[in-house]
Structure 1
Amino acid sequence: MATPLTEGVTLELERLRSSVDVGFATTRGDLALLLQRADQTDKCLGEHEDRIEALERTRWPLTSLAALTSCAALAITLWQALAR
C-alpha cells in the first residue's frame, strides 16, 4: 500500500536520479573533450620538439664555420704583417 508521501518521495528520487545521470553524462562528455585536447596538445608539442631538434642539428656547423673563418683571417693578417 503506497501512501501519497511515499509516492512523492519515489517521484522525487526518480527526478534526482535523472538529474544525477544527466550530470554524469555531461561530466563524461567534458572529460572526453579535455582528453582530446590534451592529445592534440601532446601531438603539437611533439611536432615542435622535432622541429627544434632539426634546427639545432643544422645550427651547430655555423659556429664551427665562424671559428674557421676567424682563424683563417688571423692567419692571413699575420702573414701579411710578417711579409712587410
Structure 2
Amino acid sequence: MTPAEGVYISPAQTYAEVQQLVRGVGQLEAKIDKFLDEAKDIRSDINDHEIRLRALEHGQSERQRTETVRIDTAETRITTVERKVWAATGAVGVLCMGAGYLMQYLIP
C-alpha cells in the first residue's frame, strides 16, 4: 500500500499514541482523585471553622462563658465594696457632724 497524498500514520504509530494517551489520562485521574480527597479535608475544615465562628459570634464558646461568669463575680464583689465605701463615708460624715456639735458645747 502506497501512501496517498498527505501524511500516513501506521497502525503501530496510532497504537503507541493511544497507549501514551491512556497513560496520560491515568495520571490525570490519579491527580484529580488526590485533589478531590484534599478538597474533602478542606471542606470539613471550613465547616468546623464556620461552626466555631458562629459560636464566637453568639457568645457561646467555653472561654466566653467562663469570662462572663468571671465578670459577673467581679461585678458582684465591686458592688459590695462600693456599698461598704459609701456606708463608711456616710458614717464618717455623721461622726464629723457629731464631733462638731460636741466641740461647740465643750469649748466655751
TM-score, shorter chain, exceeding 0.5: yes
Once residues 22 and 73 of structure 1 are traced to their aligned partners in structure 2, the CA distance between those partners, rounded to angstroms, is 76
Please point out which of 86, 89, 94 is paired with 1:68. 94
How many residues in Structure 1 have an aligned counterpart in Structure 2?
A: 81
Residue of structure 1 equivalent to 2:68: 42
Q: Could you say which structure has the higher helix fraction?
A: 1
Displacement of 1:17 in angstroms is 1.5
RMSD: 2.9
Structure with more relative contact order (C-alpha pairs < 8 Å, separation 6 or more): 2
Q: Structure 1 regions of 5+ residues with no counterpart?
A: none
Q: Is residue 2:21 matched to residue 1:11?
A: no
**1:36 Cα deviation (Å)?**
1.0
Deviates more, 1:57-66 or 1:19-28: 19-28
Q: Which moved more, 1:6-15 or 1:41-50?
A: 6-15
Inter-partner Cα distance in structure 2 for 1:29 and 1:52:
36
With the length of structure 2 as denominator, give the TM-score of the two structures: 0.56
Q: What do residues 49-81 of structure 1 show as CA deviations (whole Å, max 9, x unaligned)?
A: 122112222332211110111111122222111
5+ unaligned residues in a row in structure 2: which ranges?
1-21
TM-score, normalised to structure 1's length?
A: 0.68
Q: Which amino acid aligns with 2:104?
A: L
CA distance in 1, matches of 2:31, 2:83: 71
Paired with 2:34 and 2:90, the residues of 1 have a C-alpha distance of 78
Query: Which amino acid is 1:79 matched to?
Result: Y
Rg: which structure is higher?
2
